[in-house]
């Protein structure tokens, strides 16, 4: 199948600084692609290039087969873009913002389309509220509504859930799933691992370079995440912080981090579960349990980022 979005060897330099250093990726139509990476890694720059608002230094982006630089105008008609910055008019109401963006995009049958969006995003109760008085979640929902008015086939969302509460986050994701189910292709940047898990495919960009790209299951199953002489374990103890402290003082422990009540660690192969339990016992942690563990997505990204320290 032809990709809805195809990013091919994109390089972007700002003066002597290389923000994107040969980025390539493909997004299948109707799927959700998640892009993660530290601040300053080039996520927003990539989105701006894909939307045709920034020229790459070299490389090519095809959106629905159209060249994002040469056919920027045609691309703009087929895409929606929710920028990282607050893009609404604060002193216009929800309804007025939709009207305004509807006019900007030249949306046909504007009132009917706005009514459809209001219904779909469940924003009717807030129609007359000024955008500046909406909570973060509702603001993002309105911004999504504005980006959807002209029925884009590909939607770019730059950190759409940054700083909004978990309920609003889940509701926004439910809307994204509905859009994808209807055939819209979504390209989303985020810092949240649970959101990465929800994507059909994720990539991790680290200072301009893609370090990994695949489905969440593929990434977690990568054989190169632990070195051949290491293995991953999960340690449960009465107190995860005490476990972490004890592990950090031991030899043969390459890495340890707390996830809720558990500690995930990478240890030397020759350190058995039983020996680890015995060591923890000697360290005063009598009831610790140890078992082999699979990496989660955060483990994948942390491992790859550490290996590629700049
Ligand atoms: P991210 O969205 O991943 O946080 P950005 O794409 O915003 O990263 O930025 C990537 C890098 O490019 C940063 O170091 C940023 O300062 C730099 N950058 C972005 N836009 C410009 C610009 N117009 N001029 C100079 N540097 C820029
Ligand atoms: Mg950004």
What residues are in contact with ligand 1 under a 6 Å CB criterion? 14, 19, 37, 39-45
In contact, 138 and 167? CB cutoff 8 Å:
no
Q: Which ligand is nearest to the CA of 35?
A: 1
60 and 8 in contact (C-beta within 8 Å)? Answer: yes
**Mean pLDDT, rounded, for 147-159:** 97
Whose C-alpha lies nearest to ligand 1, atom 17? 19
**Sign for the pseudo-dihedral over CA of 255, 258, 264, 269:** positive
- Report whether 10 contacts 61 (CB < 8 A): yes
126 CB-near residues (< 8 Å, 6+ apart) = 94, 134, 138, 142
CA 261 to chain centre: 25
In tens, the pLDDT along 28-86 reads 999 999 999 999 999 999 999 999 999 999 999 999 999 999 999 999 999 999 998 87
Q: Structure tokens of 200?
A: 């059909």
Q: Of all atoms in ligand 1, which is nearest to the CA of residue 39?
A: 4
Distance (angstroms) between ligand 2 centre and the Cα of 159 equals 7
Residue with CA nearest ligand 1 atom 13: 40
Query: How high does pLDDT run on average in the chain?
Result: 95
- Angle, CA of 39, 43 and 47, to the nearest 5°: 150
% residues pLDDT > 90 (the chain): 91
Residue 152 confidence class, pLDDT cut points 50, 70, 90: very high
Query: Counting Cβ atoms within 10 Å, is residue 94 exposed (0-12), middle (13-18) or buried (19+)?
Result: buried
Looking at the CA of residue 208, tell me the nearest atom of ligand 1.
Answer: 10
Most ligand 1 atoms within 8 A of CB, residue of 36, 40, 57 to mutate: 40
What CA–CA distance (Å, rounded) separates 295 from 297? 7
Closest ligand (CA of 42): 1
Distance 157 CA to ligand 2 centre (A): 10
Strand partners, 265: 233, 256
Q: Decide: 160 and 195 in contact? Cβ < 8 Å.
A: no
Domains of the chain are 5-220 (3.40.50.300), 227-294 (3.30.70.100)
């Amino acid at each position: 199948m032809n990709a809805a979005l195809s990013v091919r060897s994109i390089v972007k330099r700002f003066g002597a600084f290389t923000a994107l250093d040969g980025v390539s990726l493909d997004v299948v139509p109707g799927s959700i692609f998640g892009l993660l990476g530290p601040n300053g890694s080039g996520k927003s720059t990539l989105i701006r290039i894909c939307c045709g608002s920034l020229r790459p230094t070299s490389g090519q982006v095809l959106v629905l087969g159209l060249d994002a630089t040469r056919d920027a105008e045609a691309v703009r008609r087929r895409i929606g873009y929710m920028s990282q910055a607050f893009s609404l008019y604060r002193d216009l109401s929800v309804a007025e913002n939709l009207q305004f963006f509807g006019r900007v995009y030249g949306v046909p049958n504007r009132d009917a389309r706005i009514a459809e969006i209001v219904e779909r995003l469940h924003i009717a109760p807030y129609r007359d509220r000024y955008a500046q008085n909406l909570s973060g979640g509702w603001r993002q929902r309105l911004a999504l509504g504005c980006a959807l008015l002209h029925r884009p086939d590909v939607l770019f969302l730059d950190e759409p859930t940054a700083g909004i509460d978990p309920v609003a986050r889940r509701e926004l994701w439910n809307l994204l799933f509905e859009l994808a189910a209807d055939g819209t292709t979504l390209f989303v940047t985020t810092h949240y691992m649970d959101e990465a898990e929800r994507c059909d495919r994720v990539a991790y960009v680290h200072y301009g370079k893609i370090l990994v790209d695949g489905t969440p299951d593929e990434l977690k199953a990568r054989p190169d995440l632990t070195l051949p002489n290491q293995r991953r374990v999960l340690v449960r103890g009465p107190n995860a912080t005490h476990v972490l402290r004890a592990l950090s003082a031991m030899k043969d422990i390459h890495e340890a981090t707390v996830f809720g009540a558990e500690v995930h660690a990478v240890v030397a192969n020759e350190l058995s579960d039983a020996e680890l339990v015995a060591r923890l016992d000697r360290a005063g942690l009598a009831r610790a349990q140890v078992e082999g563990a699979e990496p989660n997505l955060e483990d994948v990204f942390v491992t790859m980022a550490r290996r590629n320290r700049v």
